[in-house]
Structure 1
């Protein structure tokens, strides 16, 4: 039976899954994020946002911010960030034989071979107008028959310089045929694989969970906060950023512009338990299906983490601690990168096969992230003075007390 009071324990409803699919399928390679931000998320925000909330747009990128209390700089500002940009390939040059040589960006070259892609070509005669070319495949060797023995055995890999796009061009003047299509160096290419339900219950897979999922979570938190009547002393900035995949530039611009008091980044994480060859490295046992993840380390605020973890425990929302060392690797770093004084952390969900065409996630982990952030925002709103709460309550390790037991002597847990 579905537990409506704890939706993270129930299958994701079909309309919610369809929204997630629409967000993830929007073609939004780095620098061209408008399909997701303006094409899907902006109208979605406008469909439920109260009249006094305001959508903010930017000049240098296609990010958007839905602001619950525009102009109220006296309120405690919480920025919740997902990033819309997808890693992409780009046309590098066109060969005389019709091969379109491409840069692979943040993909491993070997995970691309044989997959269908979409190329977005800007019309040379009408700058700013784009056309799509479907049906091309990413190739490197052409056939096993043309590879050397080391490649056949797996001892030798594929270099990124060997990757090209094949549009099945044939006949005379192959390069000219490609150029006649308007294909030029710099054109963006993305993988063609919309998400779909997986074989096991409550799973899904496809391309670009990184990080349409963070945008989906941000949008769903906004909807739930709106349906609950908003907030009183917390100004929430529901933020869809850009440029994360090339250095987290979009979010740091937004943090610099809007100067939040707290940042909660939402981004995918790794399922280290399922990752091949990772077990012997003694990574933290993050695992798909065990709940959302919360960053510990780097710039992650212990005060903000305390509120999130307390919220998760109070509502029995499954949580995993993610050890991030010197860098969260997410937009959670936006505040310090923008030289803004703010508390920050990063919330995620373990996925498999990151930066491939078959990224795999678990809907209940995503739902757990949505609802823990929503409830944490409500907990922040209930504080007597959020500004002073963070200024005055930094952890003091000099006040740490000694343990009253030695491990083996620890008393059994009781219900008291």
Structure 2
């Protein structure tokens, strides 16, 4: 395949972008992920899955797993995990003036003001039935004229306790107007902005790339594996988890239940090169548009990473190394948290403005991750004995060879990029 024809070097096809938009737009706040998993991903999985694949469901949460070889516990099991849950705001209380005071969860209060949201309210008279309210905005001060001088100058920020939802309520009995809608404490509120193509080529922006993108990548890898005829000796578990944003509780259930031999978390990462004001932290130079990322450190398996990196190099797929320290910060930790013996790592794609309404990504990074993971699964399937490959080939630093000074000549550009 020529470089120009490689999918990760070309614009994402419109039909594929449409699927990505549908997955990202599904209203799936933490604890209510069914819109994404059952409303979008389950039908998508069923549209291409061979008849002998099985979709697994769970009682305590809306996670799903597409299983290529159900019941074959003797096979080498590989789990790919994206998480469907979105960080959400919640109704805290309703004021006499009609203001709906809310909890901001994992959003910075300062990035919320003025944005449109959707409020999902359970019908008090029909538990289990939900209604949606659109047209409200998140506010804190009302107007700059009412803020004290320190806030107006930027010397002091907005506190989370100041955040409320404004439904433009006016007239008599303002609180009662809200109560008559059935709005109650605990109701979920999420940002209202579907993704759109960005100004620069191959970019897109909107709310909740974290982590509908990981779910999209997982589902597209599943489709490509199905179209290629499946796998011979590797049982692949394409998993969509819940509860990641509150402690990765969903993925540890999936890992505990299915006990994979290899686990790969698929989640967004940061574009550190574009992040403002962090230059003195000396972060790794991850950058949007430079390829997918692979976690190094924490619980990341060097054996698994070796296969992913070798596969990416073989197919000329751009990859960036991500230093993660003690915790990947993703569902890649699920095996450890569930006390399952598996080789694990985390794959991602650098985005900007994480946990805001204007998260920004690059379709070529996403496509690079899709195809790198697809080729990795096929490489694992081609091993003589995947179990022994991981049992017998742990890195031995006592066998490291001495390295001497290599001079001052600059390496080729390709080698320099691969070392990031």
TM-score normalised by length of structure 2: 0.97
Q: Is the 8 A contact 1:3 1:10 kept in 2?
A: no
- Equivalent residue, structure 2, for 1:291: 291
Gaps of 5+ in 1: none
- Equivalent residue, structure 1, for 2:108: 108
Q: CA deviation at 1:414?
A: 12
Question: What is the alpha-carbon root mean square deviation over aligned residues?
Answer: 1.7
The verdict on how the C-alpha distance between 1:358 and 1:411 changes in structure 2, with shifts beyond 3 A counting, is: closer
The verdict on how the C-alpha distance between 1:99 and 1:411 changes in structure 2, with shifts beyond 3 A counting, is: closer
- Equivalent residue, structure 2, for 1:74: 74
SS for the counterpart of 1:349 is strand
Task: Give the Cα–Cα distance (whole angstroms) in 2 for the partners of residues 201 and 2 of structure 1.
Answer: 21
Alignment of 1:73-222 (within 5 A): 73-222=73-222
Alignment of 1:389-404 (within 5 A): 389-404=389-404
Q: CA deviation at 1:196?
A: 0.4
1:286-327 deviations in Å (ceiling 9; x for gaps): 000000000000000000000000000000000000000000
The verdict on how the C-alpha distance between 1:148 and 1:413 changes in structure 2, with shifts beyond 3 A counting, is: closer
Task: Give the Cα–Cα distance (whole angstroms) in 2 for the partners of residues 393 and 84 of structure 1.
Answer: 34
Task: Give the Cα–Cα distance (whole angstroms) in 1 for the partners of residues 406 and 254 of structure 2.
Answer: 48
Task: Give the Cα–Cα distance (whole angstroms) in 1 for the partners of residues 153 and 95 of structure 2.
Answer: 29
Structure 1 runs (4+) greater than 6 angstroms displaced: 409-415
Alignment of 1:21-100 (within 5 A): 21-100=21-100
Task: Give the Cα–Cα distance (whole angstroms) in 2 for the partners of residues 120 and 399 of structure 1.
Answer: 59
The verdict on how the C-alpha distance between 1:414 and 1:75 changes in structure 2, with shifts beyond 3 A counting, is: closer
Task: Give the Cα–Cα distance (whole angstroms) in 1 for the partners of residues 147 and 414 of structure 2.
Answer: 64
Aligned length: 415
1:102-149 deviations in Å (ceiling 9; x for gaps): 000000000000000000000000000000000000000000000011
- Equivalent residue, structure 1, for 2:337: 337
Task: Give the Cα–Cα distance (whole angstroms) in 1 for the partners of residues 186 and 107 of structure 2.
Answer: 17
Task: Give the Cα–Cα distance (whole angstroms) in 2 for the partners of residues 254 and 411 of structure 1.
Answer: 44
- Equivalent residue, structure 1, for 2:250: 250
Task: Give the Cα–Cα distance (whole angstroms) in 2 for the partners of residues 394 and 41 of structure 1.
Answer: 36
Alignment of 1:225-374 (within 5 A): 225-374=225-374
SS for the counterpart of 2:387 is helix
Task: Give the Cα–Cα distance (whole angstroms) in 2 for the partners of residues 188 and 135 of structure 1.
Answer: 15
Q: CA deviation at 1:408?
A: 3.2
Task: Give the Cα–Cα distance (whole angstroms) in 1 for the partners of residues 142 and 105 of structure 2.
Answer: 21
Gaps of 5+ in 2: 416-420
Q: CA deviation at 1:405?
A: 3.7
SS for the counterpart of 1:71 is coil
